[in-house]
């Protein structure tokens, strides 16, 4: 196989070492002579693997003991429903910080279950550049059941790296496209959730990290598969979990630890992002319109100043083994998603291609 780099926003590339191991032990896992996806989730071998995966995640993120880790089905959108159904309790309102498409979608689903205050913090200048209102100026409701925000907007490439202070109101974060990319202080959050298919593993799995005092206040009519208390009581095995996705997530966690943990990946991710943004900023052929302090390390959208060259860019980049660079249909342009599994060599190859493409097509 020739070298390719896959910049898909999700389902995203997985670490090469993880995929090699998964392929090698696909039909004979743990010397059982069957696949890990063919063993009972209640077998001692599977449970040992599942527990190790949770422990590795706890180690990586330094998750305090008073937080439960849940392995769920239903993706991030499942959590858009699970959060209000679990957390409204006897409160009537919740605050949703609007930073982009994913935050808006979460708020829409939340409306089914209570009054949602949407706080749009985007500030767009006349030249089209985008910034955000700092969290100290958000008009938060002290009576809210919770404050929901999306620290990294996958589509727009906007990231909030400091953690908002919401006082006694639980802070809920959709970290689907930023979890494990840098160190975070989990103790500042009520709930962190993330669809797996960006920085954790394959699709079909969602992780929830929930502070224990928030369990047990779910609505009566909550589907049991979304009830944090039910999942916590059963170690995420209330029903058959997505066993293969859990296994692959575990391999990714192992790999992250072997490579040096989250501090190491934060360095790598910052270096990868800087390489790409610096090139874009120094070019008059490409542009990124996000305020530098809110630029995402994980998803780098960019536009060709001459958009008539978009098709040629996509065709030639694919030809060069640089896959899935098309931006989300809502915003157009290009997007390079550079999660943990993307090596710096992939970003170097992209920048190199962008330089060649620009010099070939520059007027």
| Residues taking part in catalysis | 102, 174, 198
Under rule CB under 8 A, residue 203 binds a second copy:
yes
In sequence order, the 6+-apart residues with CB closer than 8 A to the CB of 109 are 77, 80, 81, 84
String marking each residue 100-139 x if it binds a second copy according to CB under 8 A: ---------x--xx--------------------------
Binder among 28, 66, 124, 293 for a second copy (CB under 8 A):
28
Q: Give the distance from CA 39 to its chain's centroid.
A: 29
Taking CB under 8 A as the criterion, the residue among 17, 30, 41, 233 binding a second copy is 41
Phi-psi label, residue 173: left if phi above 0, alpha if psi -120 to 50, beta otherwise = beta
- Please give the DSSP secondary-structure letter assigned to residue 7: -
The residue count of the chain comes to 363
Interatomic CA distance for residues 302 and 280, integer angstroms: 8
Task: Name the DSSP letter for residue 254.
Answer: H
Residue number, 40 or 355, with CB nearest to a second copy: 40
What are the start-end ranges of the E strands in the chain?
Answer: 5-6, 67-72, 93-98, 115-120, 122-124, 130-132, 147-149, 152-153, 158-159, 171-174, 191-195, 206-211, 286-287, 299-304, 322-323, 334-337
**Stretch of 76-84, 139-147, 209-217, 288-296 contacting a second copy, by CB under 8 A:** 76-84
Instruction: Please report how close the Cβ of residue 126 comes to a second copy at its closest, in angstroms.
Output: 33
Q: Which three-class secondary structure state does DSSP give residue 72?
A: strand
CB of 46 to a second copy, least distance (A): 9
Query: Is residue 224 close enough to count as binding a second copy by CB under 8 A?
Result: yes
Show the site string, 234-253: x = touches a second copy by CB under 8 A, - = not: ----xxxxxxxx--------
Of 318 and 351, the one with the shorter C-beta distance to a second copy is 318
Could you tell me which residues are annotated as the binding site for pyridoxal 5'-phosphate?
76-77, 102, 154, 174, 197, 239-240
Write out the residues near a second copy by the rule CB under 8 A.
1-2, 4, 6, 8-14, 19-20, 22-23, 26-28, 32-35, 37-41, 43, 73-78, 80-82, 85, 109, 112-113, 195, 197, 202-205, 220-226, 238-245, 321, 323-324
């Amino acid at each position: 196989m020739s070298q390719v780099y896959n910049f898909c926003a999700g389902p995203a590339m997985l670490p090469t070492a993880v995929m090699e191991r998964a392929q090698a032990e696909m039909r004979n896992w743990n010397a059982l002579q069957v696949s890990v996806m063919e063993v009972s989730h209640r077998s001692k071998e599977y449970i040992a693997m599942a527990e190790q995966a949770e422990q590795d995640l706890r180690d990586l993120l330094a998750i305090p003991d008073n937080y439960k880790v849940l392995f769920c089905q239903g993706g991030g959108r499942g959590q858009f429903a699970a959060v209000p159904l679990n957390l409204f309790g006897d409160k009537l309102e919740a605050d949703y910080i609007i930073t982009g498409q994913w935050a808006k979608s979460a708020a829409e689903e939340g409306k089914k279950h209570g009054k949602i205050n949407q706080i749009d913090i985007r500030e767009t200048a006349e030249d089209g550049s985008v910034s955000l209102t700092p969290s100290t100026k958000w008009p938060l409701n002290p009576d809210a059941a919770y404050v929901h925000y999306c620290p990294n907007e996958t589509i727009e490439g906007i990231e909030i790296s400091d953690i908002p202070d919401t006082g006694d109101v639980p802070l809920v974060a959709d970290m689907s496209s930023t979890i494990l990319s840098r160190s975070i202080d989990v103790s500042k959050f009520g709930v962190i959730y993330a669809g797996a298919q960006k920085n954790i593993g394959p699709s079909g799995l969602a992780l929830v990290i929930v502070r224990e005092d928030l369990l047990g206040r779910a609505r009566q009519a909550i589907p049991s598969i979304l009830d944090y208390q039910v999942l916590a009581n059963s170690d995420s095995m209330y029903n058959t979990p997505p066993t293969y996705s859990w296994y692959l997530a575990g391999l990714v966690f192992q790999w992250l630890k072997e490579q040096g943990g989250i501090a190491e990946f934060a360095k790598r991710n910052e270096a990868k992002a800087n390489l790409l943004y610096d090139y874009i900023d120094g070019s008059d052929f490409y542009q990124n319109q996000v305020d530098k302090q809110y630029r995402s390390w994980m998803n780098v959208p960019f536009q060709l100043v001459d958009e008539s060259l978009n098709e040629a860019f996509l065709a030639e980049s694919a030809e060069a083994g640089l896959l899935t660079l098309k931006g989300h249909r809502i915003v157009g342009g290009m997007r390079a998603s550079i999660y943990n599994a993307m090596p710096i060599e992939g970003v170097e190859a992209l920048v190199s291609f962008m330089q060649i493409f620009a010099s070939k097509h520059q007027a």
